[in-house]
């Protein structure tokens, strides 16, 4: 069993609250991935997610196991 999961899709919705930045992909019916404010690279990863959302580029999100807590994100640039 993998110790992480990777999901790639365009960003459907972003919202911030006291816990951090919540990200929903286009293919998600409900629920969010959470980039916690306590993540050591919070500001950089949040910026990457916002850029991907604005440009409608696919965003790859890695989480630990079945968690929705984000470990890292990658913009999947269009060819």
Domain boundary assignment for the chain: 4-75
Query: What is this structure's pTM?
Result: 0.89
Determine the pLDDT at residue 8.
93
Determine the pLDDT at residue 24.
95
pLDDT over threshold 80, residue 2: no
DSSP state of 69: B
State pLDDT tens for residues 22-62.
Answer: 999 998 888 999 999 999 999 999 999 999 999 999 999 99
Contacts of 71 (CB under 8 A, 6+ apart): 4, 62, 63, 64
CATH number of 4-75: 2.40.50.340
pLDDT over threshold 80, residue 18: yes
Buried b (16+ CB within 10 A) or exposed e, 44-56: ebbebbeebbeee
């Amino acid at each position: 069993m993998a110790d992480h999961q990777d999901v790639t899709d365009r960003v459907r919705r972003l919202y911030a609250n006291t816990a951090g930045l919540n990200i929903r992909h286009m293919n998600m019916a409900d629920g969010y991935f959470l980039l916690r404010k306590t993540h050591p690279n919070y500001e950089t990863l949040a910026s990457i997610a916002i850029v991907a959302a604005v440009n409608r580029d696919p965003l790859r999100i890695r989480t630990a196991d079945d968690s929705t807590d984000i470990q890292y994100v990658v913009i999947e640039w269009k060819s």
